[in-house]
Amino acid sequence: MRSVLITGSTDGIGAESARVFGAQGDDVIVSGRDASKGAMVVDQIVQNGGSARFVPADLSSLDALRDLAAEAGDVDVLVNNAGMAPVSATVGQDPEVFERTVALNLRAPYFLTQALVPGMMERGQGVIVNISTVASFIAVPFLSVYSATKAAINELTRTWAAEFADRGVRVNAIAPGPVETAMYDSMGERAKEFDEGTMLGRAARTREIADVVAFVASDKASYMTGAVVPVDGGGAAL
């Protein structure tokens, strides 16, 4: 049984990924800020016959990040999913929101990986899956900070893949397009523009993303590393 830590897994893509990993027999560590939502995801996994526990963490804090890594222990699969996507014109970007976005989207996965990957390398195996976005490939007005942090995640994916490959650790990223989540709903009318920017003309269901996350973390993807995989309804190809 693998130990799988998924950050930001109290709802959205993270929660659905937790349910998928739990259903396939992995021991899932659900993490996020909302304990009630986390408990709900854990209950869903356990009621379906799986194994899961909740560890609270606000990953904008380095101390909380270190506590999460210590509580998680030996992790076989790390899914760096937690993030935020503030919608703002560059000229009106709030500096505090900027700092929090960089801390959550970039600093947190960097230092959580730093804390957990030594154990993977020592054991000679492990998988890291970073959640990016199609907005890291294409220009999306008013998502400048989000897009920039996720573009950095794409490069970290490639760099980490090169650094860790000889120690048996694979690193890939998934780049979703619009997905039916609370973050997506918060974008209001702009969400429809994202739907229209895909070949399929709709947002993805969270399960459609979670299944790809589980695939790249599985042995079926054993020859994949350093890849940033668009799962975007064809949006990046237009």
Closest by CA position to 166, among listed 126, 216, 113: 126
| Residues 7, 81 contacting (CB under 8 angstroms) | yes
Active-site annotation holder among 110, 146, 184, 223: 146
Among this protein's residues, is 146 annotated catalytic?
yes
Give me the amino acid identity at 135.
A
CA 82, 87, 91: angle at the middle one, nearest 5?
125
Tokens 């349910």 — which residue?
Answer: 19
CA 95, 96, 99: angle at the middle one, nearest 5?
85
Longest Cα pair distance anywhere in the chain, in angstroms?
Answer: 50
User: Active-site positions?
Assistant: 146
